[in-house]
Structure 1
Amino acid sequence: MTQLTVSTWNINQRSGLGRQIPDMVVTELRQLNADIICLTEYVKTESHNLFCARLQDIGYEVFEDDRSLEFGNEILVAIKSSLISDSKFTTIDNDDSNPNFLRVTVNIFGKELNIVGTRIKTGGKDIIEDFKERKIQLDNLISNLPASHENTIILGDFNNGFFKQNDDIHSYQGKAREFYSYPLLKSIMSKAGLTVYTPSDLNSWKYCKLDHIFANIPIVNENYSWEFLKNPDYKSQVGYPDHAILSATISL
């Protein structure tokens, strides 16, 4: 089996409030050297073309939504060019009922791999309605998986709210998480044949674990890393990543 490293990172562009991708993001991605990268809260800022060119310079083929989304959050996937012999990508409507979504299907050493980068959106509405809409986005995510989703990984920011290790789908009666939560997310993905991989030690955003990998292929060594905070060019402000990098090793 071929082993590959995958990473997903919310880079906090917040629908263009960041205006441009900080140089330190490319620096960290170069050091990370993952085979497959998924960036969430990615925005086509004025530095978009330069950012993609820099990823290409360090050996990646870049996949993006080819529509102009007017400073909307989206997904960018980058895969080491040396691994790919064939590829195609799929997008869905980027409206309020759908998550940010980019599905890339690649042939790696003769095996097909489906990579789905996603982010469940959050709204400024009533919190109950917000979580109900997150559940609708999850349902639409599931309905847009490949018909035969053998060799599939889904990675990104699921905005599932806080949970404790032993919580279940009945743990949040009377709360917004009654309608959408980590236990519910895990249950629905399991019914689709996908296993969740969430690091047990650190959190990925403040006191929460929001970033996960779901897959039906073997995965080991899932971990959250905050090492990028040590980068001297890092700033604690909008436009700079505010989630841990989630990485793991997959076998194909």
Structure 2
Amino acid sequence: MKLLTWNINHRTFNRKIPYHMAKAIASLAPDVIVLTEYVPGSSHQRFIEQLYSYGFTQHVMSKRVLKENQVFIAANTTLECGKILAPTNIEKSVLSNALHILLSQEGFDILGMRVPDFSNQPIITPTFKRQCWDWILKIAADNRNHPFVIMGDFNTDPGDSRAKCGDQLSKLVDEGWQHAVPKSGASYWAIKNGSERRLDHAFTSRHFDVLDAKYIIESGSYVFAGKKSEAMSDHAVLLIEINIKSDKQL
């Protein structure tokens, strides 16, 4: 299966979804789409209908929180909401930035998520971000023994300092999770200096073979990210391909 995650840069605004966005996503042939930083606006219903026309007949969205963005997940297979909920004791923006789904026909779960960007609150950022990561690591520990994928915008680069939670990505690997790392590229470019940042990640439990992982900036005539005026977002798409192992392979 191919799983796609993409921060579509709505921030907290009801931005119009480009008319060709659904077609652009479908052109990458994913089975599951995890969109982060999503805010349902006037083009939301049209976007859903377009996705449906391309075979993504199922969709769910995280709970709405006033003036915050959400996680939107669509699939070409049966999906239902799971029971994992974001913690309520960190910061209100965390609540709408996680969505747990069950893919019953495929036999595995996905937690689509975005760690909120607290950079405009530099004094308290380390505390909030570390609490988000503590929660992620707990969810990972609780679910590592069955087929499970955690993917989205972690707002953390592997090269970040410990103070910025750069050490937390490797902790997931140390706990037995597979980091589906693209061989090259980045998913975001810093506004101030244009430095490359790998903020969007996917982790799978040991129950999968990771066949491919790549960041996609452009594909065909579609510009997903970058400095071009036609870019649909400030983040690249992360597309991974996985295969669930048989019992004999475990």
Question: What TM-score results when the alignment is normalised by the length of structure 2?
Answer: 0.79
Aligned equivalent of 1:210: 199
String of CA shifts for 1:98-149, please: whole Å, max 9, x gaps: 571001011125xx21111111111244435313321211112333459444
Contact 2:218–2:224 (8 Å) recurs in 1: no
**Alignment size in residue pairs:** 229
Match of 2:232, SS state, is coil
Q: How far apart in 2 are the matches of 1:77 and 1:126?
A: 29
Q: How far apart in 2 are the matches of 1:102 and 1:70?
A: 17
Aligned equivalent of 1:194: 177
Contact 2:180–2:201 (8 Å) recurs in 1: yes
Shift of 1:212: 0.9
Tell me, which stretches of 5 or more residues in structure 1 are unaligned?
164-171
Q: Which amino acid aligns with 1:118?
A: M
Shift of 1:95: 1.6
Q: Which amino acid aligns with 1:41?
A: E
String of CA shifts for 1:45-84, please: whole Å, max 9, x gaps: 122122122212211111212x333352111111113xx3
The 5 Å alignment of 1:41-80 reads 41-60=37-56, 61-65=58-62, 67-80=63-76
Q: Which amino acid aligns with 2:111?
A: V
The 5 Å alignment of 1:6-25 reads 6-16=3-13, 19-25=15-21
Distance 1:233 1:116, change over 3 A: closer
**Bigger mean CA deviation after superposition, 4-13 or 122-131:** 122-131
The answer to whether 1:118 aligns with 2:113 is: yes
String of CA shifts for 1:154-209, please: whole Å, max 9, x gaps: 1111111462xxxxxxxx7xxxx32233332221x235432212213111111111
The answer to whether 1:30 aligns with 2:26 is: yes
Match of 1:248, SS state, is strand
Aligned equivalent of 1:89: 82
Match of 2:173, SS state, is helix
Identity across the alignment (%): 23
Tell me, which stretches of 5 or more residues in structure 2 are unaligned?
190-195, 245-250
Distance 1:87 1:125, change over 3 A: closer
Aligned equivalent of 1:251: 243
CA RMSD of aligned residues (A): 2.9
Q: How far apart in 2 are the matches of 1:72 and 1:135?
A: 20
